[in-house]
Chains A and B, each alone.
Chain A
Amino acid sequence: MNKFRENPIRRSLFYLVILIIVIYLLFPFYWALNSSLKSESQLSMTPATFVPRDPQTNEIDFYLTNYEGVFASDKFVRGLFNSLVVATSTTILALTAGSFAAFALGKLRFKGKTPSLYIILAMTMFPQVTVLSGLYAIINALNLGARFSMILTYMLFTLPFTTWVLTAFFRELPIEIMQSAQVDGATPFQTFRLILLPLTAPALVTTGLLSFIAAWNEYLFALTFTTIDPAARTVPVAIQYFSGQFARQEPFGEIMAAAVVVTVPIVVLVLIFQRRIVAGLTAGAVKG
């Protein structure tokens, strides 16, 4: 690694690659930001401009009304709150149930491992569309609230994912750790809670983050379950309901502004948690 640092050509090449990657990842988002600062006439300009410009004078001209519209709407802020609640609860539930199952499947010995793994995986093998009406019938029958229904139904795609990933990680951990802990007199569950869990912190954070974002992104179930309960609408649904003044009009600028506003918390969240991905490892004692 040190040799690499000293060679200036390799370094600049490396940073060039980083730059290309960053442009590729960020550009469409930049375009959304660009579009969010344009009025309807600016959006119709040909050719499309990289920076919002006035259609007649071609001077740089930022249009901020879209953002006003987004923040003025209390539905949107409520949507943010709902999304946060639902996504956080989904993640916690998926990580808890998933890590318990993963511990069993990855480290304990018992009959029926393979079928269990496959059954859990099978939950996620249907497209959401197919199971929608069945799920709707269940939540109507059980009379669950909209938010709780979302949290529960999101398990369909988050639980198998967390279970499988964590199982893989648990399995990778050397058996010696468990054995030495047992020799020290710890029960399996204590071993799990105090030793193994911290060691898989990178996996927990990663799957947690990905589950959070999956739940944050989900649209179809949220749309169906929150129709009758507009107060429980999550962000994707709230954005879909963004409409212009007249029927058929699609306030594209406002929708893009909403998209920008909604992505920022996620990025902030990641900035906060990304240290943990590394932290867990240095605290552990994985010796070959």
Chain B
Amino acid sequence: MAKGSSDLSKNEQKLAYRLLIPAFLILIIIAVYPLGQVFYASFTDKEFASSEQTNFIGLENYDKLLSLTIKELPPKINEETGEPIIDEETGKVEYESPIRVLPRKPYLYRPLNEFNIFGNRYVIGSADTDFINSLWNTIIFTVASVFLETLLGLGIALVVNSEFKGRGVMRAVMLVPWAVITVVSARMWEWMFEPSRIGFFNMLFEKFGFSSGNTAFLSMSEYQLPSLIAVDVWKTTPFMALLILAGLQLIPNELYEAAEVDGANKIRQFFTITLPLLKPSLAVALIFRTLDALRVFDVFQVMLAQKRYSMASYNYFQLISARNMGMASAIGVIIFILIFAFAVLYIKMLGVETE
């Protein structure tokens, strides 16, 4: 009997490996070389489409991208009195400009942000402000979009899961934003954000008296990320909604009926039956949505181009505009590490089993 069962498990293993062959074959063909090349190039100073010699430079690309420094900003001193100069209008002390304080070797550090602690003013400088900003932009974008999309997606899925007339049509309608081609929907929204009353939002806001109808949504830093998040939420909520819906459909009705009989109300049912049973599909949906959001490229490239970068769009401009392939690859690797960390975090936190 023992021999029989170990044969069985051996057969199972063999079958499993055979089943995995198609996936891994595809992987080997399309993933190994490009990904390997990216890793390798990140340690060089390779230029894209150039006959310049490629040199191995180790971690220099990473160093340049991630170097940060903090320096104190001394107040401007009035030369005659020896006292700090105070701005007459605001009553605040005037500080030196960061340009004098930040180091210039080995990299030119530019100011990222200034802040006050204990009455002293400090400035954070970075060697590649565009990259650090793109990192920050991407993370804010990801957190906000995924949060909103999950919430809205859950809501929409719950609604569509109920029985009502026109449910089928509703499911089709649900997919419309996801079905519109990404670059086209970015253009569509860009058109709606047009900075004059030609654009929909300006027209609407002006009609209701919120603004003069001349807001340049995509040029003002306080409106840029919210606008993009709005576009992405519109476009991708269907994705979450559909996955959650599929998960909802797997929950047997009998469980709800039994709970009704036991006297549990809708809200209780939601938290004790729906959410726990939804966890596996919700988890996978979250993982993929977050991965996608961290790699966001289309909306940033079409709507913001070089005004504000996401990590992927900065990668693109490093490659095409600056033609710095080594640097671009390093950015790619950093994105990979970030995404990998997020994925592992999710998997552990949401308790997704892998064995």
Instruction: Decide whether A and B are members of one complex.
Output: yes
Within 8 A of A (CB), among B137-164: 155-156, 159, 162-164
A281 located at the interface, meaning its Cβ lies under 8 Å from any Cβ of chain B in the complex:
yes
For residues 118 through 173 of chain A, which have their beta carbon under 8 Å from a beta carbon of chain B? 118-135, 137-138, 152-153, 155-156, 159, 161, 163-165, 168-169, 171-172
Given A31-B188, A126-B332, A161-B288, A109 contacting B12 (CB threshold 8 A)? yes
Residue of B nearest to A262 (CB): B181
Q: In chain A, what residue has the closest Cβ to B177?
A: A25
1/0 contact string of A91-123 vs chain B (CB within 8 Å)? 001001110110111001111011011111111
B315 in the interface (beta carbon within 8 A): yes
Cα–Cα distance between A271 and B171 once the two chains are bound (Å): 8
A224 to chain B minimum Cβ distance, whole angstroms, is: 11
Decide yes or no: A155 and B30 within 8 Å by CB, A236-B181, A236-B183, A277-B171 being known contacts: yes
Is A240 in the interface zone, CB < 8 Å from B? yes
Docked Cα-Cα span, A17 to B34, in Å, equals: 47
Contact indicator per residue, chain B 271-286, by CB within 8 Å of chain A (1) or not (0): 0000000001101100
C-alpha spacing A108/B8, complex, angstroms: 11
Is B224 in the interface zone, CB < 8 Å from A? Answer: no
B183-204 near A? 1/0 per residue, CB < 8 Å: 1110111011000111110010
- Chain B residues lying within 8 Å of A133, measured Cβ to Cβ, are 34, 37, 48, 319, 325
Knowing A217-B182, A255-B187, A270-B179, the reply to whether A203 touches B297 (Cβ < 8 A) is no
Inside 8 A of A18's CB, which chain B residues have their CB?
159, 164, 170
- On chain A, the residues within 8 Å of B255 by CB distance are 288
- Interface bits B1-34 vs A (CB < 8 Å: 1, else 0): 0000000010111011101101100110111011
Known contacts A125-B340, A130-B332: A48-B159 contact under CB 8 Å:
no
Q: 1/0 per residue A213-241: CB within 8 Å of B? A: 10011011000000000000001100110
**Given A31-B200, A164-B288, residue A104 in contact with residue B19 (CB < 8 A):** yes
Complex-state Cα separation, A154 to B242, whole angstroms: 21
A156 close to B30 (CB less than 8 A): yes
Residue contact B12 to A108, C-beta cutoff 8 Å: yes
* Contact A206 B242, beta carbon cutoff 8 Å: yes
A9 near B: Cβ within 8 Å?
no
Pairwise interchain contact A131-B353, C-beta atoms closer than 8 A:
no
The interface stretch among B56-64, B65-73, B115-123, B244-252 is B244-252
Shortest CB-to-CB span from B7 to chain A, Å, is 13
**Contacting B19 at CB < 8 Å: which of A25, A101, A274?**
A101
Report the tally of A-B residue pairs with Cβ distances under 8 A. Answer: 299
Query: Which B residues lie within 8 Å of A4 (CB)?
Result: 162
How many whole Å from A85's CB to the nearest CB in chain B? 16
CB distance from A145 to the nearest CB of B (A): 15
Q: Is B85 positioned at the interface, with any CB of A under 8 Å from its CB?
A: no
Smallest CB–CB gap between B149 and chain A, Å?
A: 13
Q: Is B304 interfacial (CB 8 A cutoff)?
A: no
Find the A residue at minimum CB distance from B330: A130
* Nearest A-chain residue to B233, judged by Cβ: A24
Is B38 on the interface with A (CB-CB < 8 A)?
Answer: yes
B336 touches A125 (CB 8 A): yes
Instruction: Report the minimal beta-carbon distance from A285 to chain B, rounded to whole angstroms.
Output: 11
Chain A residues whose CB sits within 8 angstroms of the CB of B200 once the complex forms:
31, 48
Known interface pairs A171-B353, A236-B184, A252-B191. Does A48 touch B197 (Cβ–Cβ under 8 Å)?
Answer: yes
Q: Mark A271-282, 1 if CB is under 8 A from B, else 0.
A: 100110110010
Given the contacts A18-B159, A43-B198, A129-B315, A104 and B15 also touching, CB distance less than 8 Å: yes
Q: List CB contacts (< 8 Å) of B259-295 with chain A.
A: 280-281, 283-284, 287-288, 291, 295
Given contacts A101-B19, A104-B15, A219-B298, contact A127 B30 (CB under 8 A): no
A interface secondary structure, majority: helix
A263 touches B340 (CB 8 A): no
Q: Which of A29, A97, A119, A168 is the one whose CB lies under 8 Å from B22?
A: A97
Residues of B within 8 A of A247 (CB): none
Can you name the residue of chain B whose Cβ is closest to the Cβ of A153?
Answer: B30
- Inter-chain CA distance A153–B188, complex, in Å, is 27
Find out whether the CB atom of A130 lies under 8 angstroms from the CB atom of B280: no
Per-position binary interface string of chain A over residues 69-103, scored 1 when its CB falls under 8 Å from any chain B CB and 0 otherwise:
00000000000000000000000010011101101
B residues 337-353 with Cβ under 8 Å of A?
339-340, 343, 352-353
A98–B20 CA distance with the chains assembled, in angstroms = 9
Contact at B23–A100, with CB atoms within 8 Å?
Answer: yes
Specify which chain A residues have a CB less than 8 angstroms from the CB of B13 in the assembled complex: 108-111
Query: Bound complex: CA of A220 vs CA of B17, how far in Å?
Result: 34
> What 3 pairs across the A-B complex have the smallest Cβ distances?
A134-B34, A130-B332, A127-B312
What residues of chain B have their CB less than 8 Å away from a CB belonging to chain A? 9, 11-13, 15-17, 19-20, 22-23, 26-27, 29-31, 33-38, 48, 155-156, 159, 162-164, 168-185, 187-189, 191-192, 196-200, 203, 206-207, 213, 234, 237-239, 242-243, 245-246, 249-250, 252, 254-255, 280-281, 283-284, 287-288, 291, 295, 297-298, 311-313, 315-316, 319, 325, 328-329, 331-332, 335-336, 339-340, 343, 352-355
30 A–B contacts from the bound complex (CB under 8 Å): A18-B164, A28-B177, A28-B185, A31-B188, A47-B197, A48-B199, A98-B23, A101-B22, A108-B15, A109-B9, A119-B27, A120-B27, A126-B35, A126-B295, A126-B336, A128-B312, A129-B328, A130-B332, A133-B325, A134-B37, A168-B352, A216-B179, A216-B181, A235-B181, A236-B184, A239-B181, A239-B183, A263-B179, A274-B171, A281-B250
